[in-house]
Structure 1
């Protein structure tokens, strides 16, 4: 996991993609869990005058001397995020075609870059955000709704910077690496529609405030659809989940462990994905999938959790608990699942790890794995057994990292 996280470190991936100095001013804006670290990397390399403001999650800040760093709430936006976004937009006023806007975007930016659309309030957005997080909706579906409830997402931020060109550097945390989806694409055209946003709310039975459904029924809620609607510029992916998995695979090879790449864009219910991974591990052990051993199954992406219980835990804890149950103490199999940003959902851990004895240890401690899974209590399960993984904020974000070692 350390190899995966280091491959996406802003100090490594940002400098090679910086644009040339403009004739005029350079204004840095951005949002995301990696935004502060990206800003620090820019400051270290930029040869001309520079200023600006970026927003990151509480606890993910990095000291910068010329670019202001503001911390706000994630995954549900708060007033600090709204105030910071308002100040950021003020910095974009009065720019010219000779100036440059350098936009630093990473996962988490969708909640941090918070500016409700006309007629909506922070509480409206908070209610919808919380409901979506519990619904099992994919990140693409959540971002479709977020874009259409925002005054800055889905290309609107870039439009406010016109006529200055906008150069966007992005660390991807989304399956498929669609730039328009990362942090809800504040500087890129949006292919999704307000009609789709309404359909998503309906599909997951979300009882949205009247102001939300009313705004989404208004043609004014539609986002920019074409590059012609935005100022000139470029959007570059500087780090992707696949890059992180590749770094982990390279380390495994050097350690004499054969890597098996299962994909970096896996989606679906965490517990269902866990069963699929367990089936693959069983097939390897049975010899149905010829491969040298020891080997390690590597995967990334962003699963989802439909919350039905009252327990604690993010999608990685949910995945790992379901995996332990599906493996049922299979000898020689160890696993780790964690979020590369160091935060699993809204908890304080990055994830957890298991060995083949995890269920036996739980039984001896009087803990039912199946009951904990039914209660969405992966955090409580692994906390009781001492196998939660704590890294603290990594200040990058290329989504989930899963490794299953088969001896």
Structure 2
């Protein structure tokens, strides 16, 4: 059975299935705790937090109030939980105001009260409350520098935790002595709760010294006050053994692996064998593209390590060291690198998208790659290698009509990549 003509549709269907599997409506209700004797307060942050709040409202049997902050354009109507919107990936005044209000809301709670914290990817910038040692402008500058440095998400979030007044377990500590139940949607490789939105309700084993070493490793300039904060240890996060976290529970409700398995099922139903290569692949996006191209060629030409037709699935969070001034994101960077390395290899198609619907800073989820993509780009006078060197993945694929635009998905389980390798002729 061949899908040559419909391969782009198949790849898009797999992406859609991955996103659908991570919807809060499917994964959140089963994890709701029993209502408390006292108050129920809902707080949270992330690209999926508003939809999580709506689902919680629909399934909660008692009274509740609260506030969550999500990305601009990701708000949904709620009746009892207020939804605030703020900037991502660089924090803004609205995010800082929402963080202050959330900290104020959790003051004065008792042991009879319950705090349900809804956390998903994007919360690091949306829940922005800098330590007193730096202002928002400095935090924004450091955040931009980290995003362009090639640092991993774990490294970036280590720095964020130690420059924050709310992350790194501080929010859970502020809720003490109330019971805190955190429901997480993971968007990070390895699903480490401390790295999801920089762990506002999770004890943090990393240190100020670790954060300082990361800043120095990537040669990120910071104000003297930040250096002093980290060198002195004054910015230390809340540690896992802190007694204020004794009443805190953390539940991972969905993750990249679940999304990949849903995509794999779509492939099977279409008669194509799926292979999940990993849900936590990291590294420079263009380097991962080259490696994946090598694997795809080996499958196509040698039947190793898999027989074609098949589809190679992977997730995780790659990084981009920005050297050019193009329009891009890590998924289109990966895909363009993959295409350059494959150089029009027949029978190989691919899709790479961010499951939140936004790759980089544009409302474009990612793109599709076909065997004739490079040929078509040359025909339009677009040099794919130059586009890659300029970090211009969005510009490249948009010019070819190959961008994937889906709007806000209301969830976020990180990158989605699928490479289809057709049967040999």
Normalised TM-score (structure 2): 0.95
Aligned to 1:143: 157
Larger mean Cα displacement after TM superposition, 221-230 or 375-384? 221-230
Within 1, Cα distance between the matches of 2:217 and 2:266?
Answer: 42
Q: Deviations over 1:96-140 (max 9, x none)?
A: 000000000000001111111122100110010000000000000
1:316 pairs with one of 331, 337, 340: 331
What RMSD over aligned residues (CA atoms) do the two structures have, in Å? Answer: 0.9
Aligned to 1:243: 258
Matched, 1:73 2:58: no
Matched, 1:405 2:423: no
Aligned to 1:49: 63
Secondary structure of 2:242 counterpart = helix
Paired residue total = 407
User: 1:228, CA displacement in angstroms?
Assistant: 3.3
User: 1:219, CA displacement in angstroms?
Assistant: 2.0
Is the contact between residue 188 and residue 227 of structure 1 (CA under 8 Å) also seen in structure 2? no
Q: Deviations over 1:201-240 (max 9, x none)?
A: 1010111112211211222211111243323121000001
Matched, 1:7 2:7: no
Aligned to 1:200: 214
Structure 2, unpaired ranges of 5+: 1-14
Within 2, Cα distance between the matches of 1:68 and 1:320?
Answer: 38
Q: Deviations over 1:139-171 (max 9, x none)?
A: 000000000000000000000011101000000
Within 2, Cα distance between the matches of 1:290 and 1:380?
Answer: 34
1:340 pairs with one of 344, 355, 361: 355
Q: Deviations over 1:325-355 (max 9, x none)?
A: 0000000111000000000011110000010
Aligned to 1:26: 40
Aligned to 1:156: 170
Is the contact between residue 172 and residue 248 of structure 2 (CA under 8 Å) also seen in structure 1? no
1:106 pairs with one of 120, 123, 144: 120
Is the contact between residue 365 and residue 404 of structure 2 (CA under 8 Å) also seen in structure 1? yes
Within 1, Cα distance between the matches of 2:81 and 2:199?
Answer: 22
Aligned to 1:362: 377
List 4+ stretches of structure 1 deviating above 4 A.
Answer: none
Secondary structure of 1:198 counterpart = helix
User: 1:288, CA displacement in angstroms?
Assistant: 4.2
2:391 pairs with one of 355, 376, 380: 376
1:262 pairs with one of 277, 290, 297: 277
1:120 pairs with one of 113, 131, 134: 134
Aligned to 1:394: 409
Secondary structure of 1:64 counterpart = coil
Is the contact between residue 155 and residue 230 of structure 1 (CA under 8 Å) also seen in structure 2? no
Secondary structure of 1:41 counterpart = helix
Structure 1, unpaired ranges of 5+: none
Matched, 1:328 2:343: yes
Q: Deviations over 1:178-199 (max 9, x none)?
A: 1111110100110111001111
Within 2, Cα distance between the matches of 1:316 and 1:228?
Answer: 38
Within 2, Cα distance between the matches of 1:368 and 1:290?
Answer: 32
